[in-house]
Amino acid sequence: MSEVRVRGRVETGLKFHGETRALRVKMVLLGSSGVGKSSLALRFSKDEFKASAPTVGCAYLTQVVCLHDATLRFEIWDTAGQEKYHSVTPLYYRGAHAALVVYDITKRESFIRAQLWLKELEKQYIPGETEVVLVGNKMDLPDDREVSLQEGRSLAERGGLLFMETSAKSGEQMNELLLTIAHRVKQKTREDEKLAEWREAECVNLNQGDTPHPLSFCCSAGL
């Protein structure tokens, strides 16, 4: 086992034949145009926020996260939300370890569309292999809310999904979300599968511990 420094902390990574490698994690962001998928991806990858034009086709970013017993290299696929790209989107989310279905809490129509995305995903993923997460973005705009927290939570509970509200703009709940996904994916992935050729690298320090806060998400499937 090797030590990987995480912004002032020391974490334990996986070491194979003298190199630290990472488990490859394909994570795809799905949802209507304008819900903030690109902003979420940028916040995940660079911890930054900036206004962006609608994604054309698909954008790709990465982030490395260190847990106490594994290093995960997230390959983040930000898909276009416009209807004209809908037919090609399955090409990007097939084989994903994690799929985030995103809606804008200030736009009810995006919440309705999120339910259609969830139905579409059910045709593609194998239960138990893909971590599906419902994400209500833009929680920094509470006065404009059109979708209640309970509505989002109830939809996730009916499907046995993880659920969290976030703000890509302020960064609120973003670290908690990524860390939760990392732990869930790690539980489902054997350490000897899909190892990336990834040498020792700087990892993101998501919180002071490596166990998600029990109230940071809901899941009816059981943790």
Q: Chain centroid to CA 125: how far?
A: 16
pLDDT(132) > 90 = yes
**DSSP E strand boundaries for the chain:** 2-6, 9-16, 19-31, 58-66, 71-79, 98-104, 131-137, 162-165, 195-196
What's the average model confidence in pLDDT over 158-174?
95
- In the chain, the amino acid numbered 76 is I
Q: What pLDDT is stored for residue 151 in this prediction?
A: 98
In the chain, the domains with their CATH numbers are: 2-196 (3.40.50.300)
Q: What pLDDT is stored for residue 79 in this prediction?
A: 78
Q: Which residue has the higher pLDDT, 80 or 33?
A: 33
What's the average model confidence in pLDDT over 195-214?
47
pLDDT(63) > 60 = yes
What's the average model confidence in pLDDT over 69-85?
74
pLDDT band with cut points at 50, 70 and 90 for residue 158: very high
pLDDT band with cut points at 50, 70 and 90 for residue 121: confident
pLDDT(221) > 50 = no
Predicted model pTM: 0.75
**β-pairing, 195-196 with 19-31?**
antiparallel
- Can you tell me the distance from the alpha carbon of 131 to that of 56, in angstroms, rounded to the nearest whole number? 25
- Can you tell me the distance from the alpha carbon of 26 to that of 94, in angstroms, rounded to the nearest whole number? 10
Q: What pLDDT is stored for residue 122 in this prediction?
A: 82
Q: What pLDDT is stored for residue 95 in this prediction?
A: 80
State percent of the chain over pLDDT 90: 43
Q: What pLDDT is stored for residue 142 in this prediction?
A: 97
How many helices and strands in the chain, by DSSP H and E? 5, 9
Q: Is the dihedral of CA 78, 82, 83, 88 positive or negative?
A: negative
pLDDT(220) > 50 = no
Angle between helices 108-122 and 149-159 (to 10 degrees): 10
Q: Chain centroid to CA 116: how far?
A: 19
